[in-house]
Amino acid sequence: MAKRRRVGNLLALPVLSTLSERPMYPYEIASTMRRRGKDASVKINWGSFYTVVRNLEKHGLIKATGTVRQGNQPDRTVYTITPEGRAELTDWLRELVEVPEREYPRFEAALADIAALDPRDFTVLLRRRLEALDADLAEQDRQLAEARAWLPELLVIEADYHRTLCAAEAAWVRALLARLEDGTMPGLADWARFHETGEVPREIDWLHEQEQRLDEAAPGAEQDAEDGPPDEEAG
């Protein structure tokens, strides 16, 4: 189970990691993170960046060590990571690597309610998504090749991981499209008929009956569905 972090914003992780290399002032931290493409692996709200830095300092994970001035620019506070910050960084990384965590992608949310779309529309949209994924994969391959020309592999493994996930999604979408287009997906005819006539598939009617039985049961009571698949336990 994920721990409750003193600074829970995931943006704190690359900030701590960047400062673990050497002391820097905030603008320098942000520039380094941008240059290394950290915003591709962590959803970064640059507007909250300085708030995260202040919170890290407040909780003793980083500390100010002095100021620097360049030209006519105002003094800039230089921060360094503290021993507590290094411990937090390594502990957080260990947790993120070791403990699988359920995430909620927007695409998956759409798939969960996709019956509300006509299957013909769904097929067209999936084809467009696949075209976009294939184009994105080609661009990722180009960027990875450029990055590997000057960066050690250790600094591009997150990009390689993202590319692998995109390739897996593209393969899954391609396989689903094939079943939709050749008509071999189970229940496809009933799905299409529902959008043409409003006729609810028998399996959905059966499901509604079982849900109604459960709703009518005493609070907390469990009732097995009859003559059909067993109810799944609530998540």
- 202: pLDDT strictly greater than 90: no
**Range of lowest pLDDT (15-19, 79-83, 86-90, 154-158):** 154-158
- 228: pLDDT strictly greater than 90: no
**What confidence score (pLDDT) does residue 224 get?**
52
Contact 78, 24 (CB under 8 A): yes
Handedness of CA 195, 198, 199, 203 (dihedral sign): positive
Give the pLDDT confidence of 66-91 residue by residue, as tens digits. Answer: 999 877 778 899 999 999 999 999 99
Task: Tell me the three-class secondary structure of the chain, residue by residue.
Answer: CCCCCCCCCCCHHHHHHHHCCCCECHHHHHHHHHHCCHHHCCCCCHHHHHHHHHHHHHCCCEEEEEEECCCCCCCEEEEEECHHHHHHHHHHHHHHHHCCCCCCCHHHHHHHCHHHCCHHHHHHHHHHHHHHHHHHHHHHHHHHHHHHCCCCHHHCHHHHHHHHHHHHHHHHHHHHHHHHHHCCCCCHHHHHHHHHHCCCCHHHHHHHHHHHHHHHCCCCCCCCCCCCCCCCCCC
Mean pLDDT on 34-60: 88
Q: How confident is the model at residue 235 (pLDDT cuts 50, 70, 90)?
A: very low
Give the pLDDT confidence of 96-147 residue by residue, as tens digits. Answer: 999 998 989 999 999 999 999 999 999 999 999 999 999 999 999 999 999 8
Q: How confident is the model at residue 17 (pLDDT cuts 50, 70, 90)?
A: very high
Domain segments of the chain as ranges: 12-98, 106-182
**What confidence score (pLDDT) does residue 46 get?**
77
Assign domain 12-98 one CATH number from 1.10.357.10, 1.10.287.130, 1.10.10.10, 3.30.930.10: 1.10.10.10
Taking the C-alpha atoms of 140, 141, 147 and 150 in order, what is their torsion angle to the nearest 10 degrees? -170
